[in-house]
Amino acid sequence: MNGQKCLAILRDIKSVAFATVDEAGLPAVRMIDIMLAEQDRLYFCTARGKDFYRQLLRGGYVAITGLNREYQMVRLVGKARPLLERRRWIDRIFDENPSMHGVYPGDSRYILEPFCIDNGQLEFFDLGKSPVVRKYFTLGGQAEKPTGFEIKNSCVGCGTCRKSCPQQCIDSGVPFRIRQENCLHCGLCFENCPAGAIVKRGEAA
């Protein structure tokens, strides 16, 4: 798995959930088609009359997620940017997605504006595997944001976390160690550690 394959999964799912924040600071979500995925970029479009369009122009931040039939979920948080050469991109999108002709026939297609996302953090989460598989990738050289939990040196080796982990993804050692790629992020280990040795990644002192 890599970032390009994650984008290809979103393109295969095609209609995925796009979340933004509206003018009042409230969450807004809708289904949007991924029109192209190539060279570490996702492409989509929306009509100038839509609230979604205004939200994209105001901040551009989007969170996208989709789940395929194999229970593989991909999530992307990044910033969408409007594309120059608008007509050329809309024509390309219609060539690659012929069903768009039925929705926007003839020149009505040019009410659409093309966008691309070429930066942000991708998460791949495979719920069809046991244990689960979780991986992170970044686009556009963005630094990876740590998530989940980690075990600090104050671990006393009691083994409580290992016994309580539903995915059996904690290995013995000094200190014990969480296999990040198999972790559910459920927090059971964190709640049960008698030494307070398990911390949220990114919040560690």
Binding site for ligand SF4 (CB under 6 A): 149, 151, 155-161, 164-167, 169-170, 175-176, 178, 183-189, 193, 195, 197-198
43-55: string of b/e by CB count within 10 Å (b at 16+)?
bbbbeeeeebbeb
Which is nearer to ligand SF4, 82 or 175 (by Cβ)? 175
Which is nearer to ligand SF4, 59 or 166 (by Cβ)? 166
In this structure, are strands 36-38 and 41-47 parallel, antiparallel, or unpaired? Answer: antiparallel
Cβ 175 to ligand SF4 shortest distance, Å? 6
Other residues' Cβ atoms within 10 Å of the Cβ of residue 124: 20
Q: How far is CA 137 from CA 3, 147, 174, in A?
A: 6, 13, 28
Which is nearer to ligand SF4, 112 or 189 (by Cβ)? 189
Q: What is the dihedral of CA 71, 77, 78, 83, to 10 degrees?
A: 40
Which is nearer to ligand SF4, 51 or 191 (by Cβ)? 191
Cβ 179 to ligand SF4 shortest distance, Å? 8
Cβ 124 to ligand SF4 shortest distance, Å? 16
